[in-house]
């Protein structure tokens, strides 16, 4: 009961589904907040209970559209002006993270801009999960707790996969470190797909580095957008003699025609977390919840305890 008085959890419009699960795990009610929409597209947020002197946790993933990040900024600003003691943004999916560097002249670094906007609004801490690039933590001047979905995925893998015949794969070279961590933790081998792109979201060519003949392949990724890369990798694995191919990814961005691509592909199963709501129908998609993971992180942050034990890999 003491914790319930010292902190409160609030949710942005599109992440309320996850915040409700987090609050259920915490054993506390979801804070009351309203978002008023105006005819011209503007909106305003207001807290419907006192937060003066409280530590508050604002749950909102910043997936498209941009309204989600704007709503979070307004939530932070309103909390600051309502004299909240400590404002923690809980962002299960940190959007814009793929723009983390200048990969060609005259482009923005959107991930850094998002960090600056959150800091300027008044956030005092960030809890997030599986950033597209670990170095994005360095864009912030406030503490960042970077959780990993592997703590949820590992239990599922150990319960549902034959580790004796399992091989870990990464659909691109950029995910080698992530896939290598899974392979090392499970004690299984790993292969790599090397891809080249003509343009964003379009794979030109893909080649396999390693052998998968007769193996059950598990593809590891952080984000699935159009599902072009991961389904092409799955088809390649089958072509190279794999017995079966499944995939897991932390964030189900799933832009059209991602669901259709997955349904038509060689994938047996596609596993996501609920960091982003997946509202479409697919017989191949399975969603695991990260609510308990975030609830535990919130509980430990609020009581100034270490969260290092939450990291599986």
Q: What is the pLDDT of residue 167?
A: 97
Whole-number Å distance between alpha carbons of 208 and 213 = 12
Catalytic residue among 195, 239, 280, 286: 195
Handedness of CA 222, 225, 229, 235 (dihedral sign): positive
CA distance readout (Å), 222 to 130, 252, 263, 302: 7, 9, 20, 28
Q: What is the pLDDT of residue 277?
A: 95
Q: Residue 176's CB: how many other CB atoms inside 10 A? A: 14
With respect to CATH, is domain 7-147 assigned 3.40.50.2020? yes
Is residue 195 part of the annotated active site? The answer reads yes
Q: Contact at 8 Å (CB) between 287 and 272?
A: yes
| Helix ranges restricted to H, the chain | 2-6, 16-26, 67-81, 110-121, 150-160, 176-186, 228-239, 258-264, 291-302
Please tell me the least confidently modeled range out of 82-86, 173-177, 193-197, 300-304: 193-197
Residue 4 has pLDDT above 90, yes or no: no
pLDDT, tens digit (0-9, with 9 covering 90-100), for 159-196: 999 999 999 999 988 889 999 999 999 999 999 998 77
Backbone angles phi, psi at 20, to 5 degrees: -65, -40
Architecture, CATH, for domain 150-288: 3-Layer(aba) Sandwich (3.40)
Residue 82 has pLDDT above 80, yes or no: yes
Domain with CATH 3.40.50.2020 in the chain: 7-147, 150-288
Token pair 């794969």: residue: 169
């Amino acid at each position: 009961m003491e914790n319930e008085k010292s902190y409160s959890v609030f949710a942005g419009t599109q992440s309320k589904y996850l915040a409700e699960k987090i609050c259920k795990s915490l054993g506390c009610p979801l804070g009351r907040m309203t978002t008023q929409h105006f005819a011209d597209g503007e909106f305003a947020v207001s807290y419907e209970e006192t937060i003066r002197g409280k530590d508050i946790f604002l749950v909102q993933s910043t997936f498209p559209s941009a309204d989600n990040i704007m709503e979070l900024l307004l939530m932070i600003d309103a909390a600051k002006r309502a004299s909240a003691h400590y404002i923690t943004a809980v962002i299960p999916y940190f959007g814009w993270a793929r723009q983390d560097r200048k990969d060609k002249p005259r482009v923005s670094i959107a991930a850094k801009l998002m960090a600056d906007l959150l800091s300027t609004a008044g956030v005092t801490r960030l809890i997030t999960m599986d950033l597209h690039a670990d170095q994005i933590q360095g864009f912030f001047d406030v503490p960042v707790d970077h959780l990993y979905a592997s703590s949820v995925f590992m239990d599922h893998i150990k319960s549902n996969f034959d580790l004796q015949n399992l091989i870990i794969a990464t659909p691109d070279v950029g995910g080698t470190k992530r896939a290598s961590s899974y392979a090392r933790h499970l004690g299984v081998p790993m292969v790599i797909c090397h891809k080249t792109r003509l343009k964003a979201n379009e794979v030109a060519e893909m080649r396999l580095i390693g052998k998968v003949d007769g193996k059950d392949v598990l593809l590891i990724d952080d984000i699935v957008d159009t599902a072009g890369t991961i389904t092409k990798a799955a088809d390649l694995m089958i072509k190279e003699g794999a017995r079966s191919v499944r995939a897991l990814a932390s964030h189900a961005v799933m832009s059209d025609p991602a669901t259709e691509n997955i349904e038509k592909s060689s994938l047996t199963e596609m596993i996501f977390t609920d960091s982003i709501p997946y509202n479409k129908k697919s017989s191949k998609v399975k969603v695991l919840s990260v609510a308990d993971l975030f609830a535990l992180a919130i509980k430990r942050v609020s009581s100034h305890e270490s969260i290092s034990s939450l990291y599986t890999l």
